[in-house]
Amino acid sequence: MDVWEISVVDSDSFISGLVALMSLVFTLLVGYQIYNAIDAREKIDRMQNELNRINEFRGDIDKIRAELSSDIKSNSATLKALVEEAKDNNTKTENRLNEGILILLARMCAAKPIMSQNAFLKMLGAIRCALDIDHKEDGYGWMLKELEEYMLMLNNRYPFSGSSDEIPQKVQAYKDIYKEDDDLIRKHKNYYLIKDMYEPLMGKFDIRLKLISQMKPVSLTEVDKAFEH
């Protein structure tokens, strides 16, 4: 029968072993902490690098945004100028169209005695539209000459026929019709181009209408003259 030999461990040996074990544990703990510290530092460095890249990216974005903003402002100004130019061209085109239509209508009215009073009104409207168009080379003289021809068509036989009470009323009603166009023409920025011809002619026409309202026969060749037998 085998007999196990039991060795006796004294207190010094036990303490020495315990100290050695604690030293090992402490070393492991310190090593683990150092490892964690190094790992944490690496993570912090990586995060810092990522943050730096984000800041750089943000800086690039701000730069791009500033450039885009500058381009947008520049393009916006250009676009606005183009839009204004297009509007101006459209307005001029519309005025040319209206001018042509009104001249055509004036001539059509002049061809029919029953509508002759409208010839003057249409031609006056055409002159108003013409002031918005550059007619400096062609001039406006021919338009005013044609307007004068339509003035001569108005007399106390037609359309201003009637009693002594009716004729002044008809004359005033007619003047009220063309007053708006006349005012717009006189206030137009390009009025100076026709002022020297327009004002004397309209002054003569006013005299003609006054003679008609007084039931006096008017000349067929001179706007402001009464008919001489």
Q: Which residues contact 95 (CB under 8 A, 6 or more apart)?
A: 129, 130, 132, 133
- Given a contact cutoff of 8 angstroms between Cβ atoms, the answer to whether 133 and 99 are in contact is yes
- 103-108, long-range: CB within 8 Å, 24+ apart, which pairs? 103/143, 103/146, 106/146, 106/150
What is the reported pLDDT for 103?
95
Domain chopping of the chain, boundaries: 90-213
Of the candidates 151, 147, 154, the residue with the CA atom closest to the CA atom of residue 130: 147
Q: What is the pTM of this model?
A: 0.62
Q: How far is CA 157 from the centre of its chain?
A: 51
Per the prediction, the chain carries an average pLDDT of 80
Whole-angstrom CA distances from 166 to 171, 173, 217 are 9, 11, 16
What is the reported pLDDT for 92?
73
Whole-angstrom CA distances from 140 to 35, 124, 191, 196, 208 are 98, 12, 11, 11, 23
User: Strand, helix or coil at 226?
Assistant: strand
Query: Residue 159 — very low, low, confident or very high, per pLDDT cuts 50/70/90?
Result: confident
Of the candidates 169, 167, 166, the residue with the CA atom closest to the CA atom of residue 156: 167
- Given a contact cutoff of 8 angstroms between Cβ atoms, the answer to whether 187 and 196 are in contact is no
pLDDT tens digit string along 40-89?
566 666 767 766 777 776 777 777 777 766 666 666 665 565 556 555 55
